[in-house]
Each structure stands twice: as C-alpha cells, then as structure tokens.
Amino acid sequence: MFDSQKIDAYFNGEKNLRQQTETSLARRAKIMRWIKLALPCFAALLIGLLIIIPHLQNDGSRMDMDVTLPKKGELEKLHMEETVFYITDADNKVNNFNADKIDETEPGSKLLKLTNPQGIVPGSNQTWVNIQAPTGYFNQLNSVLQLIDNVEMFYSDGMTAHSTEMFFDFKHSKAYGVKPVTVDGETSHIEAEGFEYDNKKNLLTFTGKTYITIPEEQLKGNN
C-alpha cells in the first residue's frame, strides 16, 4: 500500500522547490531590468566626468571648472548636411541642387553659405547646364546664387567654362561673371574678362577683352 503522507510530503516539497525557483528567477529578472536601466545613466555620468575632469584645476583650496559657453546666437544658426534643395526661376522651372553643408551666415539671415554646391540648371530646347564650386552663397531675398573659387560649368552640348566667381540670377534666368573666364568647346578655346549668359535664349556673351583660339585644322576645314 502507498503511504499517503509520504506522497503528500513529496509533492509539497516539490511544489515549494518550484515556488522558490520561480521566486529566484523573478528576482533575477528584476535585477537584470534594473541593470539595463542603470547602465546608460552610468555611461552618461562616466562620459560627463571624462569631459569635465580635464578642465578641473586644483589650487589646494578649491577646484575651478573652466567652461566655455557658446556665443550668443551660435546655436540659433541654421545648419544642414548632405542636403538637397530646389530653386525656382522666373518661369517656374525647378533647378535641383545639393550641397555638403548649408549654414546661415547669421542667425535669421536670408544669406546661406553652401559647401560644395552642385546643381543642374535646365535651359531652353531641352538643354541644361551643370554647375559646381567649392563654395557658394545663396541670397533668398533676390534668388541670386554666388559661386566662388574653382567654379565649373558643363553644358549639355559639351562646352565647359571655368572661372573664380560666377553669379546666377534665377529671378531673371541669367548668369554673369566679372572675373576672367575660360571656355572650351569642340572647335575653339576662349578667354575673356567676363561673360553673360541668357538661359531663356541659351545665349552666351563674352565681355571685356576676349581672345579666341581656333585649331588650324578647323580653319582648313572651313575653307
């Protein structure tokens, strides 16, 4: 015959062991949750100490902390990186541009500084001009884009133009420059003191002293 008291004691002991195990697991899970919550706070505190400690100076009686606060308005400036933006001209044509960085020159200013701007300006009769430069400034009030340093223009017909400064007036669909410009086409090399470009007419005009070099074989071919 079975001893019912022993059987009850056995199952009661197993039940108590199971309850103890569940309680232990619950306690361990609670501790792990606490550690997960505490670790980010501890890491942030450690990083803060690593930043502050180098600025602490001990003169034997006190500790001074050298903190440099941002200049007034510094945090208010617009700053964007890897940005695509659009400029609409007088005929509502959309000019697609991108830049590595865009920064306000002053907080709330309408003048934006562009780092490595590059864009495509559509012209008439399905023509286009690709323009790029290391630095640019875009005035939002008059829609004028100023490009400086090594400015390059690549036309859809294969012509290229280079200068140290160019202006693009999107309100009037025109471009111009008053610095020396060089232009290379399929049949000639041109150097001029400046230029004007009418995007509506797809017309490029050189200003000031202008020098044109035409290869001899091109002249012979025209005779």
Q: Could you report the per-residue pLDDT of 119-175, keeping only the tens digit for each?
A: 998 877 788 889 999 999 999 999 999 999 999 999 888 899 999 999 999 999 899
Report the C-alpha gap between 135 and 170 in whole angstroms: 18
- Total residue count of the chain as it appears in this document: 223
CB atoms under 10 Å from CB of 153, counted, come to 25
Higher pLDDT, 12 or 126: 126
State CA 117 to chain mean position distance.
10
CB count, 10 Å around CB of 61?
A: 5
Residue 65 has pLDDT above 50, yes or no: no
Q: Bridge-partner residues for 90, per DSSP?
A: none
Question: What is the Cα–Cα distance from 160 to 109, expressed in whole angstroms?
Answer: 33
Dist CA 155 CA 128 (whole Å): 6
Token pair 């000031």 is found at: 208
Report yes or no: 162 and 191 within 8 Å, Cβ to Cβ: no
pLDDT value for 68:
41
Per-residue pLDDT band for 31 (boundaries 50, 70, 90) equals low
Multiple choice CATH, 76-222, 1.10.1200.10, 3.40.1000.10, 2.60.450.10, 3.40.47.10? 2.60.450.10
Please give the pLDDT value at position 58. Answer: 44
Q: Rg (Cα) of the chain, in Å, rounded?
A: 36
Helix (H) or strand (E) holding 14: helix 4-52
Residue 50 has pLDDT above 60, yes or no: no
| Range of weakest confidence among 72-86, 107-121, 169-183 | 72-86
3-state secondary structure of 5: helix
Asked whether the predicted pLDDT for residue 188 surpasses 80, the reply is yes
User: Per-residue pLDDT for 77 more than 90?
Assistant: no
Q: Which residue has the tokens 């002293």?
A: 209
Model pLDDT, residue 30: 59
Task: Return the domain boundaries, the chain.
Answer: 4-65, 76-222
End-to-end CA gap in the chain = 129
Whether the model pTM is above 0.85: no
Residue 186 banded pLDDT, cuts 50, 70, 90: confident
Beta bridge partners of 120: 96, 130
